């Protein structure tokens, strides 16, 4: 069997930077991801959004950041197994981890880094009847091409960062932008909320969606005030629903991993309770946890460097400064 030094489960920003760092340490590396393309949420959910908190980039489109991370991850020719869902992990007699996926062949690795982001998640859907064939055509849960909304009458539903950010973005792109939120308190960053209030966005708090009207496409919607029941009809071409995700992490518990609420418990070395299994990024939890792309990268580097000492006890955790290494990349 072909045994890798480290296998990274997850092809988002944390996993990709972990792949680069594993190559930097000379580890034979494989990346497994359930999606058909690299980038995780950067490409699957918000490729057209700007990311502002990545070192060295005042701002960068999520899809461009994903592309750069993918290029960096492949500097050391890691093996990429995309479109594969990991279903189980078990340790063999010689302490090698057997990784089972929904494909025919298994994967074998001395160490594993779990960089699963938020885990197995699907967008939350509203309890409203509409033609499901409209999804991806005029009803959306993510924006992959913002040009589809140009000069459209757009209804955005939600009160978090994604909903508010897209309201601000579409205010310069769409014909009309409406945002409805079931409360008057937003979960989004306050500066973004203040920006939205000054942009061309019709904000309707305490409003919810009651009905989608249209034959094969959205033509109108009925919304209602959840305090009074008063209804209002809006002419709409497209709906963007940003009300969060349903996350299922039961599969991690079945692997024997110690969990803390909806995350994997790790120590300062990013070690889980299972030998040779590490976790980094949004999927893990520790006392000083911050769920950021920047901290995910740092956690991935920490995990990989200590995985080196697990694979080879004579190795040092500190890799040395990359500027001092003689790299032909």
* Residue range 99-141, pLDDT digits in tens: 999 987 899 999 999 999 876 667 888 889 888 889 989 999 8
**Inside any domain, residue 329:** no
Q: What is the mean pLDDT of residues 244-260?
A: 84
pLDDT of residue 123: 81
Task: Please name the helix (run of DSSP H) or strand (run of DSSP E) that holds residue 277, with its range, or none.
Answer: strand 277-279
- Among 241, 262, 292, identify where a domain stops: 241
Q: Tens of pLDDT along 168-180?
A: 999 999 999 999 9
**Residue 212 sits in the same domain as residue 152:** yes
pLDDT of residue 119: 67
Which domain covers residue 165, as residue numbers? Answer: 125-241
- Among 190, 212, 241, identify where a domain stops: 241
C-alpha 216/C-alpha 235 separation (Å) is 15
How many domains would you assign to the chain? 2
**Residue 170 sits in the same domain as residue 200:** yes
- 323 vs 150, residue with greater confidence: 150
**Residue 268 sits in the same domain as residue 235:** no
C-alpha 315/C-alpha 74 separation (Å) is 24
Other CB atoms within 10 Å distance of the CB of residue 98: 14
- Among 241, 275, 310, identify where a domain stops: 241
**Residue 144 sits in the same domain as residue 185:** yes
The residue among 199, 206, 211, 200 whose CA lies nearest residue 236 is 211
**Residue 138 sits in the same domain as residue 98:** no
**Residue 110 sits in the same domain as residue 253:** yes
Task: Please name the helix (run of DSSP H) or strand (run of DSSP E) that holds residue 246, with its range, or none.
Answer: strand 245-248
**Residue 150 sits in the same domain as residue 76:** no
The residue among 46, 39, 243 whose CA lies nearest residue 146 is 46
Structure tokens at 14: 């944390």
Structure tokens at 84: 């594969």
**Residue 47 sits in the same domain as residue 66:** yes
Tell me the β-bridge partners of 156. 179, 240
Decide if pLDDT at 245 tops 80. Answer: no
């Amino acid at each position: 069997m072909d045994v890798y030094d480290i296998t990274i489960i997850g092809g988002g920003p944390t996993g990709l930077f972990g792949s680069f760092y594993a190559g930097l340490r000379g580890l034979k590396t494989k990346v497994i991801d359930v999606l058909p393309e690299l980038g995780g949420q950067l490409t699957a959910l918000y490729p057209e959004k700007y990311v502002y908190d990545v070192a060295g980039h005042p701002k960068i489109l999520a899809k461009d950041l994903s592309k750069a991370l993918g290029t960096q991850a492949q500097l050391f020719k890691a093996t990429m197994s995309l479109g594969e869902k990991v279903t189980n992990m078990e340790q063999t007699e010689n302490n090698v981890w057997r990784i089972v996926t929904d494909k025919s062949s298994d994967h074998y690795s001395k160490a594993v880094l779990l960089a699963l982001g938020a885990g197995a998640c699907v967008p939350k859907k509203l309890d409203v009847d509409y033609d499901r064939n409209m999804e991806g055509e005029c009803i959306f849960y993510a924006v992959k091409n913002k040009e589809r909304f140009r000069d459209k009458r757009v209804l955005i539903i939600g009160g978090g960062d994604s909903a508010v950010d897209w309201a601000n973005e579409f205010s310069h792109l769409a014909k009309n932008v409406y945002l409805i939120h079931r409360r008057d308190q937003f979960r989004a960053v306050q500066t973004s909320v203040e920006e939205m209030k000054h942009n061309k966005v019709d904000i309707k708090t305490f409003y919810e969606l009651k009905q989608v009207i249209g034959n094969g496409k959205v033509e109108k919607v009925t919304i209602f005030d959840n305090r009074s029941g008063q209804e209002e009809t809006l002419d709409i071409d497209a709906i963007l629903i940003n009300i969060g995700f349903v996350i299922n992490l039961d599969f991690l518990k079945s692997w024997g991993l110690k969990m803390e609420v909806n995350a994997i418990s790790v120590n300062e070395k990013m070690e889980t309770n299972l030998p040779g299994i590490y976790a980094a990024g949004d999927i893990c939890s520790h006392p000083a946890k911050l769920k950021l792309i920047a901290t995910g990268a740092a956690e991935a580097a920490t995990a990989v460097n200590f995985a080196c000492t697990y694979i080879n006890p004579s190795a040092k955790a500190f890799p040395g400064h990359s500027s001092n290494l003689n790299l032909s990349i």
